[in-house]
Amino acid sequence: MKIRDIKTFMPYVGRRKQLVVKVETDEGIYGWGESGLSSREQAVAAAVHHFREFLIGKDASRIGALWQEMYRSQYFEGGRVLTAAISAIDIALYDIKGKALGVPVYQLLGGKHRDYIPLFATTTGRTLPELIDQSKLLVEKGWNVIRTGIYSSKPGDRTSDGDPIYEPRESVATTAEWLNKIREAIGSEPVLGIDYHHRLSVAEAASFCQRLNSGTLDFLEEPIRDEAPEAYEQLRRMTPVPFAIGEEFSSKWQFLPYLERGITNFARIDVCNVGGLTEAMKVAGLAEAHYIDFMPHNPLGPICTAATVHFAAAVPNFSWMEIRSSPTEDLGFYDPDLFPVQCEQDGSRMKIPETPGLGVEFDEAVASRREDPEPSGRPRGFLRRRDGSITNA
């Protein structure tokens, strides 16, 4: 079964563009994949087309060997653009192989460890009363893992150029106060976490943790940028709050210091960034050896969700999977017109598909009508501090 063609699609779905990849074979079997490098879709699509030139005619069943060819054969290995492209192609190849053998993808990964995938939901409120109401609603609806967002700025608080303002110290003070009150409102049983989207320094993150009541947070996600593991080690010594890190990691090598040196407590792997299912399963073994569970990053659409579900089913060390569709948040990423077949959500659980392959389909005709004319999706403003300087997005 030879690869006949590789195609890319970049429709706008919900609030962001999605880069979908289709791998076709000479036997008529095709597979779907998705890239996770949001807002860099054009760069990733170019990398996919680069790989296409030497993948056409290759045996689609040799997934591991093709991964090595894509990663190692061009001298300048790795990087987020290249591994995002590899991820999409790799996932599509697993979809093809599952369909060819008549089995769901998780069977190719060793079979399933669980009967369903536990999910966590994210609140969207901009005020404390909204956050408390949404958190209580999630608990009432059976969600026992809740992630909330940070205080960023007051509505309409922008620079003269129209960019939103974000001041870390203002955020730290307000967010810590709000989290303490959310915990009081929902009680001690639900898991409560927060995503700081790497917007703090070490000192700011430590100050934030010191303002929290004991037992308020069960995980702190991406408080600082991840380029320097030593900075996270410094922060690790300053707070007992568990860390959830890894959504931007693009290889097992990038994960390695965070696993070996006990820096992270939950691995936020993104199968559409890390190098697809082939690389994700290697990270899974490293994490299991260090008693670290996965809490996968899943902010995209049904293809990313399906690939993540199969990964989550096949690894023993797993906690919860991110989902962007809940009683308090639905960003429109799971459009049934564009994705007529997709994984089925059952409240705070995701059912594991039993159909061959990933269990997802994509409508190319609908996608062609949704192509976004902007080179990298809709324009997004930069985050700036009050003095006009750029800060982390």
Question: Which pTM does this prediction carry?
Answer: 0.96
Give the three-state DSSP class for 64: helix
* Residue partners of 76: CB distance under 8 A and separation at least 6: none
Q: What is the CATH number of the domain that holds 57?
A: 3.30.390.10
Q: Is 339 a domain residue?
A: yes
Q: Do the beta carbons of residue 61 and residue 100 sit within 8 Å?
A: yes
| Distance set, CA 325 to CA 122, 123, 211, 296, 330 (Å) | 9, 10, 31, 15, 4
- Residues making up the chain, counted from first to last: 393
Do 133 and 91 fall within a single domain? no
Catalytic, out of 49, 113, 197, 198:
197
Q: Determine the pLDDT at residue 114.
A: 98
Do 176 and 71 fall within a single domain? no
Last residue of a domain, one of 79, 104, 129: 104
Q: Determine the pLDDT at residue 393.
A: 83
Last residue of a domain, one of 75, 104, 133: 104
Do 158 and 71 fall within a single domain? no
Q: Is 55 a domain residue?
A: yes
CA distance 108 to 127: 45
Do 97 and 175 fall within a single domain? no
Do 37 and 174 fall within a single domain? no
- Domain limits at 84? 3-104
Do 100 and 111 fall within a single domain? no
Clarify whether 197 is annotated catalytic.
yes
Question: Number of structural domains, the chain?
Answer: 2
Do 78 and 51 fall within a single domain? yes
CA distance 28 to 33: 17
Which pLDDT tens digits describe the chain residue by residue (393 residues)? 999 999 999 998 887 889 999 999 999 999 999 999 988 999 999 999 999 999 999 999 999 999 999 999 888 899 999 999 999 999 999 999 999 999 999 999 999 999 999 999 999 899 999 999 999 999 999 999 999 989 887 767 887 777 889 999 999 999 999 999 999 999 999 999 999 999 999 999 999 999 999 999 999 999 999 999 999 999 999 999 999 999 999 999 999 999 999 999 999 999 999 999 999 999 999 999 999 999 999 999 999 999 999 999 999 999 999 998 888 888 888 999 999 999 999 999 999 999 999 999 999 999 988 886 665 544 556 889 988 899 988
Do 97 and 153 fall within a single domain? no
Do 92 and 117 fall within a single domain? no
Do 302 and 345 fall within a single domain? yes
Q: What is the CATH number of the domain that holds 257?
A: 3.20.20.120
Q: Is 25 a domain residue?
A: yes
Do 79 and 151 fall within a single domain? no
Catalytic, out of 50, 198, 297, 310:
297
